[in-house]
Amino acid sequence: MRHSILRTAAAALIIGTACTALPAMAGTPPGVLIVGQSAEPKSLDPAVDTAVTDFRILTNIYNGLTHYKSGTLQPAPALATSWTISKNGLVYTFDLRKGVKFQDGTPFNAEAVKFNFDRMLDKNDPYHKLTGPFPLAFFFSDVDKVTVLGPYKVQFTLKKPYAPFLSNLAYPTGLIVSPTAVKKYGKNYGSHPVGTGPFEFVEWDRNNKVVLKRNPHYWNGEPALKTVIFRPITDTNTRVSELLSGGINVMFGVPPNSLRLFQNANFKTYQQVGPHVWFVILNEKDGPLKSKLVRQAMNYAVNKEAIVKNVLKGTATVANGPIAPAFAWAYDKNLKPYPYDPAKAKKLLAEAGYPHGFSTTFYVTQGGSGMLSPVEMGTAIQADLAKVGIKVKIETFEWNTFLSKVNAGLKGNVGMAEMAWMTNSPDTLPFLTLRTQAWPSKGGFNSGYYSNPEVDKLLEQARTSSNQAERAKLYKKVQVIVHNDAPWIFVANWKQNAVTTANVKDFKLQPSFFLLLHDVKKP
């Protein structure tokens, strides 16, 4: 019965907020929070998803063994209360939280943990093929086996030391699902999510809304919000209008030009530095960009300060390399970004044998998670490169089409492609996009075919070291080498933003880009 009431209330809200004639701040009922999302979820199975927009829903339904301590990227206890790590870094033993139940009543225990990781990692597990594929399973590819030591004690044995392991357990790919629900719904589990988190799934009305209700039995205390509704509103201007009219309460990634609309007492604005890198992939397989001098010239030719100031309105800083400044311990703050110097760019192009420039094609997306203002940024880059003789033809694509083209690898005269990554570890972005073993033909995302054996070696050493000071030295060496090799045009590190209506209390942006609603209130 309660589900029916919620569905009715939610439907009424959607119908009401679709009307553009609503007066400003029409409002939503107390205890009901409506989040405007830029995309429809792909799935509500955390082992299947890859998009931040999906993660914002999942992190309220599920818990992991660890979670990121609020305001940080440091892993802290969640469903695991404590752990020990063997001296050789290969064995992690976890003590699990007692008395926790999944939202369907299934007890949480060591068997449930084993079920989750066997489902994702064991190709012979009956639910592996049935509920997969699991595109981010590489986060746990170094797990050799998961062993149940007792009802509330579980052990992970790794094939080799892997420093980001605890951090990856806090990532959505490591969130724990109900074994009972997976067995019940099989390949349709992604439409029937069951976790141990602060909110329970109610319904998913495709292309309209996902509705959650508070979990009254949540192990960490009942949340204040009664209902949370995630609405996919793909058009940015429509999301802005909905927020202005009170049709939604929360919007992420507000365009810089629209932020001024919310500088009043009806709204609250938020900004938080996160691990974000916006860059242009350069094709080292074919054509002029095979030359390091050409790639360096392109970095000198693009006025990144102007892009950050004029296009992004100060909502980002200029990037200096492949690791975001949010990873303070691993980030090399002494490495200066390429300055805007078109004269030097022309000189380098002449040295490379291109005194009159060349022509190339630039893949630009129309939108996408973390892509900021991709068309405007692409156009600014095109104009700057034209000033040094590089004639750029822009081809634009819808986000998913864009990804399919870029992830397959740049070829022929396609010399450039925009990209942005938001990650949980300084290891993730360079490991997946800069290693020789990460070329598209080998299953990675190194779409520009960059290869430097020294970078490959340093990244492997950094992943297997358990000493953070040593890892920091290795990552800083990687940044210096990659900066000099210039496989990308390093453009921007975004300072994520969000706007809420003024009646939303205790809302926080997280550096992980996740959304944690347990403590949020809306009287």
Domain end, chosen from 144, 163, 192, is at 192
Residues 319 and 292 in one domain: yes
Nearest to 292 by CA among 485, 489, 488: 485
Enter the tokens of residue 391: 């004639």
| Same domain as 246, residue 322 | no
Same domain, 511 and 472: no
Close Cβ partners of 265 (under 8 Å, ≥ 6 residues apart):
502
CATH number of the domain encompassing residue 117 = 3.90.76.10
**Are 142 and 259 found together in one domain?**
no
Residues 484 and 507 in one domain: no
d(CA 366, CA 4): 38
Contact status, residue 196 vs residue 63, Cβ threshold 8 Å:
yes
Answer yes or no: do 253 and 235 share one domain: yes
Same domain, 488 and 502: no
In a domain, 140, yes or no: yes
Instruction: Tell me, yes or no, whether 202 and 87 share the same domain.
Output: no
pLDDT of res. 50: 80
> How far apart are the C-alpha atoms of 107 and 75, rounded to whole Å?
24
Q: Which amino acid is at 109?
A: N
Terminal-residue alpha carbon distance, the chain:
24
Question: What's the CATH code of the domain at 343?
Answer: 3.10.105.10
Please list the residues that pair with 150 across neighbouring strands.
Answer: 153
Which has the closest alpha carbon to 60: 30, 91, 37?
Answer: 37
239-292 pLDDT, tens digit each: 999 999 999 999 998 888 898 999 999 999 999 888 999 999 999 999 999 999
Mark whether 456 and 385 lie in a shared domain: yes
Residue 55 lies in a domain: no
- Write out the H or E segment, with its range, that includes residue 254: none
Four-residue CA torsion sign, 232, 236, 238, 240: positive
Is 230 inside a domain boundary?
yes
Per-residue pLDDT, 26 = 56
Residues 243 and 335 in one domain: no
Same-domain check for residues 245 and 181: no
Residue 11: per-residue pLDDT: 31
Domain coverage including residue 451: 276-494
C-beta separation of 86 from 188 below 8 A: no
Do the Cβ atoms of 470 and 245 come closer than 8 Å? no
Q: Which of 225, 69, 91, 68 has the alpha carbon at shortest distance from 154? A: 91
In a domain, 379, yes or no: yes
Q: How far apart are CA 149 and CA 94, in angstroms?
A: 10
Same domain, 365 and 255: no
Low-confidence residues of the chain: pLDDT under 70:
1-26
Count of structural domains within the chain: 3
513: which 2 tokens?
Answer: 């880009």
